[in-house]
Amino acid sequence: MFSGIKIPATGSVKNDADTTGRSLLEFRINLYGATTKLRYDNVCATCEKREGKRKGTPSLVDFKTASDMISPKDGKIRLDFVFCCYPRHHGLGDDEYM
């Protein structure tokens, strides 16, 4: 049984949870262009400037939580996140992610 989920540290997430002795699932979101099927790993240059001013190193997906480990509450784990860049910003021909 797992005791929680470990999410990537992003500009809004501190990487400071004590995970010693815990069995955690690692959570990742991979985004691909719906048309090109290319994997997107980074925000575009414009969004990097905007996000970097507020949060340090910008990431394509920013989780909305205080710590990089989320424990279950009432048997459920809730993850809130936002996309920090639109696929059309990259100029590769994609209008959406999949």
Nearest to 12 by CA among 48, 65, 53, 51: 65
Work out how many domains the chain is built from and give that number: 1
Provide the domain limits for residue 53: 4-15+29-90
Q: Please list the alpha-helical segments (H only) found in 2-94.
A: 45-55
Q: What percent of the chain has pLDDT over 90?
A: 26
Convert the pLDDT of each residue in 34-78 to its tens digit: 999 999 988 898 888 887 766 666 788 988 888 889 988 998 888
Q: Would residue 63 count as lying in a domain?
A: yes
Q: Would residue 81 count as lying in a domain?
A: yes
Nearest to 87 by CA among 39, 51, 53: 39
Please report, for the chain, how many H helices and E strands are present, in that order.
1, 7
Q: Would residue 23 count as lying in a domain?
A: no
Check whether 11 has a pLDDT greater than 80.
no
Global pTM reads: 0.75
